[in-house]
Amino acid sequence: MLKLIITLDIRTSKLSDESVSALSKWLTGYIIDAASYIPEETDVDVQSDPFRIFKYYIRPCIMWFYRNSDLLFHVLELFALILNEDKFSAQSHSDFTYSLEFPTKIRAVSSILIFMHNEERCHESLSQNNAVIKLIVDNIGHLRDSTISCTTLEEKHKLQIIYDRLNRRFGFPVLE
């Protein structure tokens, strides 16, 4: 359906603010679910079937994001909300829910950000939303330090790796 909309060149810039907000909630869950196909190994072959599935589902979203910065901004804000330590124990955020386990959500959000960063067309859109991306990265750092989100040393280590990878990728200084 998304590929059809993109192919027909239906522009999200014609959507009302309410429609963009509703679409962003739906897209957030959609791309997080798509990112759950990516294997956890960092050296995964980008030609592997799970990665191909991810690219197939997320490519139309990426096209919308670089065409409509408001849509990207709303999705990034929802990522930050999902990864907010205060919201960690809540099953729902506002009027949307996600069925994935919390560590999978963190990994999915970081994979999506890295994938978008690797897309040349998204660089300008991402740079316009640098503050929200920094908030996402900071939220991951807070979750890493939290006693609520991580119970084992291994989980904290995985969060540290994700935190460091995003900081390096987006050029944020690591203060620790």
Domain containing residue 102: CATH number? 1.25.40
pLDDT along the chain (176 residues), means of 10: 53 71 88 79 58 79 83 94 68 48 85 89 89 95 78 85 92 69
The position carrying tokens 């960063």 is: 117
Q: Which domain holds residue 9?
A: 2-170
Confirm whether 175 is domain-assigned: no
Q: How many helices (H) and strands (E) does the chain have?
A: 8, 2
Quick: pLDDT tens for 80-124: 999 886 654 444 444 445 556 778 888 889 989 998 898 888 888
Tell me the sheet residues that pair with 118.
none
Residues 6+ apart with CB under 8 A from 159: 106, 140, 143, 144, 149, 150
The verdict on residue 55 lying in a domain is yes
User: Domain total for the chain?
Assistant: 1
